[in-house]
Amino acid sequence: MSGSHQKSGVPQQLSLGVSLRDDATFANFYQEPGDANRQVADLLRDFASGANPEPVVYLWGESGSGVTHLLQSVCQVAEASGRSFQYLPLEDLIEAIPEVMFDGLDQLDLVCIDDLQMVENRADWQEGLFHLYNRLKDSGRQLLLGARKSPRGLDLQLADLRSRLQWGLIFQLHPLSDADKIAALRQRSRLRGFDLPEDVAQYIIHRAPRDTRALFACLEQLDRASLEAQRKITIPFVKQVLNI
């Protein structure tokens, strides 16, 4: 799936080799009814479709908290809504020239920039981002930013950019508890078409990496292995496949 979508009249964007994960959807984002993460997800769903015209949203949280998942979910909804967009994961693109990366983006409906912490101590990226921010705002476009740190927590040398980043809506994603991770793994397994027993989910989260991204990668690996071996996912099977 492409990481960009163009309308007629919008210049062809750079082919960045960026793709969206098929499972990065709002349906796959685990949240408890009424919790803060659910409220953020609901707002971003409207933001993605254009129903919420907020110009700038800044989303932050520690690794594995779901920031990248939600940014890509926003792009999926934007594409389904026929909006032009570009997704830029700076962790993969930081060695590029920012002026080239940002050229023409102010003609798109929505720009999503992930891994914003990568611009720390990078004067060229901070300058480029500052000007892109202003162009998007002046042209009435939308900007979604994702980072592992809050705007105040970023080590930015460009004071004007630091102040700009504090103008929009700012949300922190809170990491899941162990109980939530178990529930999230079981929800994700059901969406993949199988049931993960609770004792197996507990075994996985206590022995696999605690990062939710890594946990979901384990689940994907188990799903593939169980289909190939035509076996149910049990604790002995998990030990064999994941070597944990």
Tens digit of each residue's pLDDT (9 = 90 or more) over 84-124 = 999 999 999 999 999 999 999 999 999 999 999 999 999 99
* pTM of the predicted structure, to 2 decimals: 0.78
Domain 178-242, what architecture?
A: Orthogonal Bundle (1.10)
Positions of the chain with pLDDT under 70: 1-17, 31-34
Could you tell me the CA-to-CA distances from 123 to 17, 58, 132, 158, 161 in Å, in that order? 25, 20, 14, 7, 11
The reported pLDDT for the residue numbered 227 is 92
Topology, domain 4-172: Rossmann fold (3.40.50)
Tokens, residue 62: 């520690």
Q: So where are the chain's domains?
A: 4-172, 178-242
